[in-house]
Amino acid sequence: MKLEMRGLSIDWLIEIIHLCIERIVIVDHNGIIVYIDEAYCEFIGTTFDDAVGRPVQEIIENSRMQIVAKTGEKEIEHLQPINGSVMIANRYPIFIDGKLVGAVGTVIFPDPDNLRHFKNKMSNLLEELNFYKNKAVNELTSKYSFDDLIGNSQAFIEAKALGEKVAGNESSVLVTGESGTGKELFAHAIHQNSMRSHFPFIAINCASIPEVLFESELFGYEDGAFTGAKKGGKEGLFKVANKGTVFLDEIGDMPLSMQSKLLRALQEKEIQPVGGQKTIPIDLRIIAATNRDLTKMVEDGTFRQDLYYRLNVINIEIPPLRDRKEDIAAISKKLLQKLERKFYRKGTVLSPKVVMRLEGHKWPGNVRELENVLERAINVLDGTVIKSEHLPLYIRDQEINQREEEFSMAESTSTLDLPAVKPLKVTIARAEKRAITHALEIAGGDKLAAAKLLGIGKTSFYDKCKIYEIR
Ligand SMILES: Nc1ncnc2c1ncn2[C@@H]1O[C@H](COP(=O)(O)OP(=O)(O)OP(=O)(O)O)[C@@H](O)[C@H]1O
């Protein structure tokens, strides 16, 4: 027996529809509107009389009611943008006596204040979600491949070929070279060319983690491991990187106490979070990098020999930029492309004289220094051609500096030709500038190490670099 709503007038049905929070539209088998409630009409800026009898897609933005009325397939919780708001739509086919006769659709249509509030909340959450999504992707994946490593000099080609050759195996790699030569770039490319490329790549700068935090950062900690520890504990970076690659940058700065713990973790292939009893198995490939002389550190007893051997299975030595001047033009071109994207420019080129000057510089800070020089140039540039005047003084003045160096060499070897007396301030400033440049060269561009060599503090060192335009 068919169920009927005996005695229920159409007014009752319409009132019931009005009481529902959802707004309703009904179409026939051809997608022609046969009913739409008043609040829905108000929201889309139409009237009942205008809407009824017309194809639904002409009246309601992004409607799919005409499709459901034809396919008989229901669509649940679809997001439907209407009037700049995203509505949640449900669409059901209507079957009478087994025959598809049309469809009924509902959209959730809270009052405008609620809607606005809901929309703001959603967009804030979406923004936050995207931010963390991007951050996680950026932090956990390698960003560069071997194609991003520019250089045609023989020494660079050899380093790159070795990197490509060993990328596919599981051995540890030690990348050595002065600061700014591209060690991290190599580590990214090796990971990207390896079987582990679908797993995380985690870069850890050993120089920037305070000694007391090393173990908890790398291995994690259990709930209540120490005062101030996060409730519920924290996963260490080694666990996060599981099955992937860990890049230990500035490994020469890892404290001795931590070196033993690292060695144990690598040998046993497991870690023990701080304050925990159980061990966690880990499967990692280690790529380490340093600008320090690890063999000397081993001799001095500041770096563990056994750890050195474990890390230095394959050594890739990246030559300093001054030893591969033929790479400067090509690297500059690549860096300019990167900078053009950052500064919304196009077609920037170097004048031939600038190329000559860049090739004549010693680059104590290597490619990073070159990048800074080009960024400065692009910032002060009006047209598209980078000329000498766009270079920092210390590069422009290299000929003067060279002459000065020759002069002071002559000064120290000849006692006969006495140099002209200059104001003491000028002489002291020149000597200071020369001492800083020299220290930077000795320290391979590492400013902290250079400051240490000179016996001055970091801040004072940076101040002086600014004064003398040393990058
Ligand atoms: N061969 C290259 N081609 C293109 N860009 C390069 C090249 N080498 C280095 N760079 C760029 O120079 C900058 C410094 O590189 P990177 O950080 O890899 O050097 P690093 O040797 O790891 O430095 P540090 O020892 O100070 O950590 C980066 O912006 C990198 O993209």
- In CATH, what number is assigned to the domain containing residue 206? 3.40.50.300
> Do 178 and 277 fall into the same domain?
yes
Residue 122 falls within a domain, yes or no?
no
> Do 383 and 460 fall into the same domain?
no
Residue 127 falls within a domain, yes or no?
no
Q: pLDDT tens, 91-122?
A: 999 999 999 999 999 988 555 555 566 666 66
CA–centroid distance, residue 115 to ligand 1 (Å): 49
> Do 202 and 164 fall into the same domain?
yes
> Do 254 and 218 fall into the same domain?
yes
Q: Which amino acid is at 219?
A: F
339 lines ligand 1 (CB under 6 A): no
Nearest Cα residue to atom 30 of ligand 1: 182
Cα distances from 305 to residues 22, 209, 260, 263, in angstroms, run: 72, 22, 11, 10
185 lines ligand 1 (CB under 6 A): yes
Read off the CATH number of the domain in which 369 is found.
Answer: 1.10.8.60
How far apart CA 380 and CA 397 sit, in angstroms, is 18
Q: Residue 443: give the domain boundaries.
A: 418-471
Residue 135 falls within a domain, yes or no?
no
Residue entry with tokens 């020469």 = 252
Q: What is residue 306's three-state secondary structure?
A: helix
Residue 141 falls within a domain, yes or no?
no
Residue 414: what pLDDT? 43
Buried b (16+ CB within 10 A) or exposed e, 332-362: beebbeebeeeeeeeebebeeebeebbbebe
Which ligand 1 atom is at minimum distance from the Cα of 144?
31
Residue 117: what pLDDT? 60
CA–centroid distance, residue 386 to ligand 1 (Å): 22
Residue 350 falls within a domain, yes or no?
yes
Long-range contacts of 163-171 (CB under 8 A, 24+ apart): 163/189, 163/190, 163/193, 163/316, 164/193, 166/190, 166/314, 166/316, 167/191, 167/192, 167/193, 167/194, 168/193, 168/194, 168/195, 170/285, 171/313, 171/314
Buried b (16+ CB within 10 A) or exposed e, 136-172: eeeeebbbbebeebbbebeebeebbebbeebbeeeeb
CA–centroid distance, residue 367 to ligand 1 (Å): 6
Largest distance between two CA atoms of the chain: 127
Total number of domains in the chain: 4
> Do 152 and 218 fall into the same domain?
yes
65 lines ligand 1 (CB under 6 A): no
Contact 269, 281 (CB under 8 A): yes
Which ligand 1 atom is at minimum distance from the Cα of 334?
4
Which ligand 1 atom is at minimum distance from the Cα of 446?
26
151 lines ligand 1 (CB under 6 A): yes
290 lines ligand 1 (CB under 6 A): no
Q: Which of 145, 181, 322 to mutate to test the pocket of ligand 1 (most atoms within 8 A of CB)?
A: 181
How far apart CA 37 and CA 23 sit, in angstroms, is 6
Q: pLDDT tens, 224-276?
A: 766 666 667 788 999 999 999 999 999 999 999 899 999 999 999 999 998 88
Contact 234, 220 (CB under 8 A): yes
334 lines ligand 1 (CB under 6 A): yes
Nearest Cα residue to atom 25 of ligand 1: 179
The beta strand positions in 41-156, using DSSP E, are: 75-82, 85-96, 99-108
Strands 270-271 and 99-108, sheet pairing:
unpaired
Helix intervals (H) in 152-208: 154-167, 183-192
Q: Which amino acid is at 435?
A: A
> Do 265 and 361 fall into the same domain?
no
150 lines ligand 1 (CB under 6 A): yes
Which ligand 1 atom is at minimum distance from the Cα of 156?
1
Residue 42's CB is within 10 A of a number of other CB atoms, namely 12
Structure tokens at 424: 């003491």
Cβ neighbors of 362 (< 8 A, separation 6 or more) are 322, 441
> Do 204 and 263 fall into the same domain?
yes
Residue entry with tokens 């500064």 = 343
Read off the CATH number of the domain in which 86 is found.
Answer: 3.30.450.20
The upper half-sphere exposure of residue 431, i.e. CA atoms within 13 Å in the direction of its Cβ, equals 8
446 lines ligand 1 (CB under 6 A): no
Domain limit, last residue, from 290, 319, 348: 319
pTM of this structure: 0.61
How far apart CA 336 and CA 340 sit, in angstroms, is 6
368 lines ligand 1 (CB under 6 A): yes
Residue 413 falls within a domain, yes or no?
no
Beta bridge partners of 101: none
Domain limit, last residue, from 80, 109, 138: 109
Nearest Cα residue to atom 6 of ligand 1: 182
Residue 138 falls within a domain, yes or no?
no
Nearest Cα residue to atom 28 of ligand 1: 368
Read off the CATH number of the domain in which 448 is found.
Answer: 1.10.10.60
184 lines ligand 1 (CB under 6 A): yes
Cβ neighbors of 352 (< 8 A, separation 6 or more) are none
321 lines ligand 1 (CB under 6 A): no
> Do 153 and 257 fall into the same domain?
yes
Domain limit, last residue, from 264, 286, 319: 319
CA–centroid distance, residue 445 to ligand 1 (Å): 13
Give counts: helices (H), strands (E), the chain: 21, 16
* DSSP letter for each residue of 332-401: HHHHHHHHHHHHT----EE-HHHHHHHHHS--TTHHHHHHHHHHHHHHH-SSSEE-GGGS-HHHHTHHHH
Long-range contacts of 47-56 (CB under 8 A, 24+ apart): 55/30, 55/31, 56/25, 56/27, 56/31, 56/32
pLDDT in tens, the chain (471 residues): 455 667 778 888 888 888 887 889 999 999 999 999 988 898 888 999 999 999 999 999 999 999 999 999 999 888 888 877 778 889 999 999 999 999 999 988 555 555 566 666 666 777 777 767 666 655 667 778 999 999 999 999 999 999 999 999 999 999 999 999 999 999 999 999 999 999 999 999 998 888 888 898 999 988 776 666 666 778 899 999 999 999 999 999 999 989 999 999 999 999 999 888 889 999 999 999 999 999 999 999 999 999 999 999 999 999 999 999 999 999 999 999 999 988 888 899 999 999 999 999 999 889 999 999 999 999 888 889 999 989 988 887 664 455 445 545 544 444 444 556 666 777 788 888 888 988 887 777 888 888 888 888 887 888 888 878 787
Residue 413: what pLDDT? 47
Nearest Cα residue to atom 24 of ligand 1: 179
| Residue in 313, 335, 325 with CA at minimum distance from that of residue 156 | 325
How far apart CA 56 and CA 65 sit, in angstroms, is 7
Residue 2 falls within a domain, yes or no?
no
395 lines ligand 1 (CB under 6 A): no
Tell whether ipTM is more than 0.85: yes
180 lines ligand 1 (CB under 6 A): yes
> Do 103 and 240 fall into the same domain?
no
> Do 157 and 303 fall into the same domain?
yes
End-to-end Cα spacing for the chain: 90
> Do 167 and 277 fall into the same domain?
yes
> Do 152 and 58 fall into the same domain?
no
Residue 415: what pLDDT? 44
